[in-house]
Amino acid sequence: MQGAYIDAMAMVRRSRWAELGGYASDADIHGWEDYDLWLAAAERGWRADLVGTIVGRYREQPSSMRKISDIDMAANFVILRERHPRLPWPS
């Protein structure tokens, strides 16, 4: 909520992913579906652990979403705050 940094890879049990409702398909948060999922987990008080060893690599290509995205961060934060009002958002 204070930096919106989520690494490009994460592992989640399928049952937990399903419990959260999976990834949202709302066009309003296109490109932020994973972050929305993490916020839903945070609302439920779920915790995550950082694996301290490298278990995979992310290869970024010229056509990768991170390279071609024109996502408006400010507009998406407004939508995410509305979707997850119970979180302690910074003012």
Question: According to the model, what pLDDT value does residue 7 have?
Answer: 61
Question: According to the model, what pLDDT value does residue 46 have?
Answer: 93
> Rounded to whole angstroms, how far apart are CA atoms 11 and 53?
14
Q: Which tens digits make up the pLDDT trace of 34-64?
A: 889 989 999 999 988 888 888 888 777 887 7
Question: According to the model, what pLDDT value does residue 66 have?
Answer: 67
Question: Which of 48-52, 64-68, 69-73, 80-84 reaches the highest mean pLDDT?
Answer: 80-84
Mean pLDDT across 84-91:
89
Question: According to the model, what pLDDT value does residue 47 have?
Answer: 87
The kind and range of the H/E element at 91 are none
Q: Is residue 53 within 8 Å of 12, Cβ to Cβ?
A: no
Q: How many CB atoms lie within 10 A of CB 37?
A: 20
